[in-house]
Structures are given as C-alpha cells and as structure tokens.
Structure 1
Amino acid sequence: MAIESILLAVGPSDKTRLEELAETAIDIAGPTGAEVTIAHVFTEDQYDDVIERLEFASAGDADPDDVADRHTNVRDIAAMLDSADVPHSTRGAVGEHGDEIVSLAETTGADLVIVGGRKRSPTGKAVFGSVAQEVMLNAPCPVTFVRGDE
C-alpha cells in the first residue's frame, strides 16, 4: 500500500518530542511524496483558553483549523516540514483527543497516523488511559507511535 496521506497528531504535551515527530513524518513522506496533515485537538476548556489568549472576539469567530495553525507546536512542526520540502496542511478539532484524531484520520483519508506518547506502566495506562493507545486501537489505518523519554 502506497502512503499518500499522513496525519501527524501534535498536542501540547509533545513539545519535547517535536523533532522526533517531524523526523518520523519526513522519513516516511519524503520518499513517497505523501502530504502531511498536522492535526491538533483541543478539549473544550483548552479551546476556550486559546481563543481568549489569541484574542478572537468569541469562540464562534474562530475556526479550529485557524486556531490550530497558530499553535506554537504546530508552527514548529510546519517549519521543520517546510525545511524538508514536505507538503503539509493543518487541521484542528475540538473534543476528546483520541476520538477526534481517529475522526480526522477518517475524514482526511489518512493512510498512516503518527502519534507521540510516553512510556507508561500497564497500571498507568489502565488508570489514566492513553490517547495514543485509543488511536492505535481505533484508527482506520496503521499508526506509528513515537515514544518520548519523559
């Protein structure tokens, strides 16, 4: 199966692994010419906070794609993809992280999802859940997990 479309999920906790996420996307997209969609999902509370910080008049005046495009982590990843001449776009969503990443993978027709996370004990996963685990179990395509050290 040829990879033509990659969904790269980037969240606020990915600051320490942006380079690894970008390198993974570049390594996969570069040889295939795939387009990368940088996805950022906000919870309702996060979205309201960001709307206020970015000085939008109201949440109704803000488009999740535009809000995501202005997020520091998204801009940093976009700059790395630009440097490698990898075509990309940005998508934003508001809701539960795992559900929205899976939904974006479906609506963008992604052939691959790249998601970051950290090493956790089995008990930690059971008690706190894992966005990456939810995406791996429910995505409509293969998922590449980029593990951080924290």
Structure 2
Amino acid sequence: MALETILLAVGPGDADRAEELAQAAIDVAEPAGATVVLAHVFTDDEFDEVIDRLDYDPDGEIDPDEVAARHATVRELTDEFDDAGVEYQVRGSVGPHGENIVALAEDVHADRVLVGGRTRSPAGKAVFGSTAQEVMLSAPCPVTFVRGD
C-alpha cells in the first residue's frame, strides 16, 4: 500500500518533542512523496485559552485550522517540513483528543497516523497515554507511536 497521506497529531503536550515528531514524519513522508496533515486537536478549554492568548475577536468566526496554524508547536513543525521539502497541510479541531484524531484520520483518508508520547517508568512502559491508546485502537490505518525523550 502506497503512503499518500500521513496524519501527524499534535496537542498541548507535544512542544517538548516537536523535533522527534517532525523527524518521524519526514522519515515516513519524504521517501514516499506523501503529504503530512499536521493536526492540532484542542479541547474546548484549550481552544478558549488559545483564543484569549492570541487576541482573537471572541464575537468573530474563528477557524480552528487558522488557530492551529498560528500555534508555536505547529509553526516549529512546518518550518522543519519546509526545510525538508515535505508537503503539508494544517488542520485544527476542537473536542476530545483521541476521538477527533481518529475522525481527522478518516476525513483525510490517512494511510498512517503518528502520535507522540512520553517515556514512562519501567512499570508503565507497557501502557500508552489514553489519547495514544484510543488512537491506536480506533484509527482506520496503522499508527506509529513516537516516543519523546
């Protein structure tokens, strides 16, 4: 199966592992000539917080894709993709992380999903975070877990 679309899911906890996520996406996308869909999912509270911080007009129409594109972690990742010559799109979504990542993967017909996570204690290494676990169990395609340092 050819890889055409890779969904890279990022959230609030991914700022400290942006480099690892970017490299993982580039390593998969570049040889295949695939497009990376960089998806930032916000909970309702996270979205409201970002809207306040970015000084949007609260009465205006606010596009989650635009908010995602302005997010620092997303800008760092898109800079890496530009440097590597990897095509990408930015998508934003508001709602439960795992559920929305799976919905975006279905919507863009992703061939692979990349999600990040933290290194866990020896006892916790067999357990992924709840978002990563939900995505792995429900995604319509293979999922790669990118472990941060």
TM-score norm. by structure 1 comes to 0.92
Alignment of 1:49-60 (within 5 A): 49-58=49-58, 60=60
**Which residue is equivalent to 1:141?**
141
C-alpha displacement of 1:148:
1.5
Deviations 1:90-134 (A, max 9, x none): 0000000000000000001000000000133449959xx511111
C-alpha displacement of 1:60:
5.0
State the identity as a percent: 59
**Which residue is equivalent to 2:9?**
9
Deviations 1:69-88 (A, max 9, x none): 00000000000000000000
- Paired with 1:82 and 1:133, the residues of 2 have a C-alpha distance of 30
Alignment of 1:1-150 (within 5 A): 1-58=1-58, 60-120=60-120, 121-122=123-124, 130-149=130-149
Given that residues 105 and 140 in structure 2 are in contact (C-alpha distance below 8 angstroms), is that contact kept between their aligned partners in structure 1?
yes
- Paired with 1:28 and 1:68, the residues of 2 have a C-alpha distance of 22
Given that residues 105 and 140 in structure 1 are in contact (C-alpha distance below 8 angstroms), is that contact kept between their aligned partners in structure 2?
yes
Given that residues 17 and 148 in structure 1 are in contact (C-alpha distance below 8 angstroms), is that contact kept between their aligned partners in structure 2?
yes
C-alpha displacement of 1:41:
0.4
Distance 1:58 1:109, change over 3 A: same
SS at structure 2 position matched to 1:26: helix
C-alpha displacement of 1:21:
0.6
Question: Where in structure 2 are there 5+ consecutive unaligned residues?
Answer: none
Distance 1:124 1:54, change over 3 A: farther
56-65 or 25-34, which deviates more: 56-65
Given that residues 119 and 125 in structure 2 are in contact (C-alpha distance below 8 angstroms), is that contact kept between their aligned partners in structure 1?
no
Question: Where in structure 1 are there 5+ consecutive unaligned residues?
Answer: none
Distance 1:4 1:56, change over 3 A: same
Aligned-CA RMSD value = 1.8
